[in-house]
Structure 1
Amino acid sequence: MNYNIRGENIEVTPAIREYVEKKISKLARYFTETPNASVNVNLKVYNDKKAKVEVTIPIPQLVLRAEETHNDMYAAIDLITDKLERQIRKYKTKVNRKAREKGRISELFVNNVPEHPEDPVVEEETDLEVVRQKSFDLKPMDSEEAILQMNMLGHNFYVYTNAETNRTNVVYKRKDGRYGLIETQ
């Protein structure tokens, strides 16, 4: 794996770089062969001394991404590694289940990775089950009206038809409190 480690408001020291590489490289044990991937790590320190770590690992069948904020940079790195491991185990379970259904075995993941006793058990498919379905007519409007509608409903996203382009769009509330727009092509 190739590591691209950036720091914002922090100098990436050799100790931090080594710690990040050591922790992230442990994820390779979940794969049959170490993926030739670029590991993008962004380390940030805010004025209130909080550390934020963001990791993105694009590999052929999936993109692993996690972010964590903590008072201690090293603790945030540990927490983010745990998050990425959970993502891999969950995806591995899903892939292996689908492979069994189709009668072929997945070659992407190692089958006998020793699990940590404190690791949560990944449920098979129950958390991906659709439990409710709705249908509704999309009203033509602009993004400002869609944001107002979303806020009135108390939702964190709203699907609508853009009155200018006549295409389906989605507005959503971001974690930072601002709004995002997804436009279809």
Structure 2
Amino acid sequence: MVKPHAISEVELRVTGRVSSQDRELALNKIRALCELGHEPVLDAVVKLKVRPKATLELPSIAEASLNLNGDLVRAHAAGQTIGEAIDLLDDKLGRRLRRRRKRFEDRRHDAEPENRGHTPGYVERPHDERDVVRHKTLAMRPVSLEEAADEMDQLDHDFYLYLDVDHDIDRVIYRNGDGELHVAPAVDGENLPGDTRPSIYSGPLVLNHLPLLDAERLLDHGNEPFVFFAETAKGRSQVLYRRFDGHYGLITPAV
């Protein structure tokens, strides 16, 4: 019996030398992923590309796009070999589909009568009682914007501080209230990803140069869940965020 969300045909687009075994591997993995969701798969496209190795560290690219009842779910992966890229693609796309299904199940659970009217939120704590109760120092290796987005997804966070390998600056990628991905600070002329994964937009946030105490005040009186700032003495960007217990958390790069 064919599942209602299964798909009989997956479109395959190939650039470069890709063996028939690797082509079949990619098709089988995408067909299997199509059965993970709860929605009809209207169409599925997988792209395999092998570029000259002489000039690239990761010459093999695997991309996939699934149309889930009108919503596109995309993933992109690069590897030393096309087989490695396909395996990474399978892992990334699988995580996104499982998260999507979990969000659907959570929303359905929250809509049940016994849960109506209950919305988790922040503990209301007086301003003068709030402290930085968690300070996390990160050894940030340079990564691309797409890698930062994937890392944020894997950690199931709403924001992620990282060192951008293409621009050599500290940046923060985050979800807004509608679930869209944004990155700040914006870089003029940057070609943001959007073809093989959920689109990423330039965010309106700016890097505030101010001491920690002022960052706390800005967080207290604003509507954002975090403040992206840098203390003049330290120079590196930091993120001060509001915890659900009403206190603050602070994320700073390792020096």
The two structures have a TM-score, normalised by structure 2, of 0.41
User: Relative to 1, partners in 2 of residues 1:38 and 1:70: Cα closer, same or farther, differing over 3 Å?
Assistant: same
Kindly provide the amino acid, as one letter, of the partner of residue 51 in structure 2. Y
Kindly provide the amino acid, as one letter, of the partner of residue 64 in structure 2. V
Match of 1:63 in 2: 72
How many correspondences in the alignment? 126
Deviation at 1:29, TM superposition (A): 3.7
CA displacement, residues 82-136 of structure 1 (integer Å, 9 cap, x when unaligned): 10111011111211111112229xxxxxxxxxxxxxxx9875xx638x8999xxx
User: Relative to 1, partners in 2 of residues 1:3 and 1:85: Cα closer, same or farther, differing over 3 Å?
Assistant: same
Q: Is the 8 A contact 1:51 1:76 kept in 2?
A: yes
Unaligned runs of 5+ in 2: 1-6, 114-152, 160-173, 178-183, 194-200, 203-255
Match of 2:135 in 1: none
CA displacement, residues 42-74 of structure 1 (integer Å, 9 cap, x when unaligned): 111112261011111111153220011101101
Kindly provide the amino acid, as one letter, of the partner of residue 174 in structure 1. L
User: Relative to 1, partners in 2 of residues 1:157 and 1:99: Cα closer, same or farther, differing over 3 Å?
Assistant: farther
Deviation at 1:156, TM superposition (A): 3.0
The two structures have a TM-score, normalised by structure 1, of 0.54
Q: 2:34 aligns with which of 3, 28, 34?
A: 28
Q: Is the 8 A contact 1:156 1:173 kept in 2?
A: no
Q: Is the 8 A contact 2:78 2:85 kept in 1?
A: yes
Q: Which structure has the highest helix share of the two? A: 1
Question: Which 4+ stretches in 1 moved above 6 angstroms?
Answer: 130-133
Deviation at 1:27, TM superposition (A): 1.4
Structure 2 SS opposite 1:94: helix
Match of 2:46 in 1: 41
Q: Does 1:156 align with 2:154?
A: no
User: Relative to 1, partners in 2 of residues 1:156 and 1:47: Cα closer, same or farther, differing over 3 Å?
Assistant: farther
User: Relative to 1, partners in 2 of residues 1:46 and 1:92: Cα closer, same or farther, differing over 3 Å?
Assistant: same
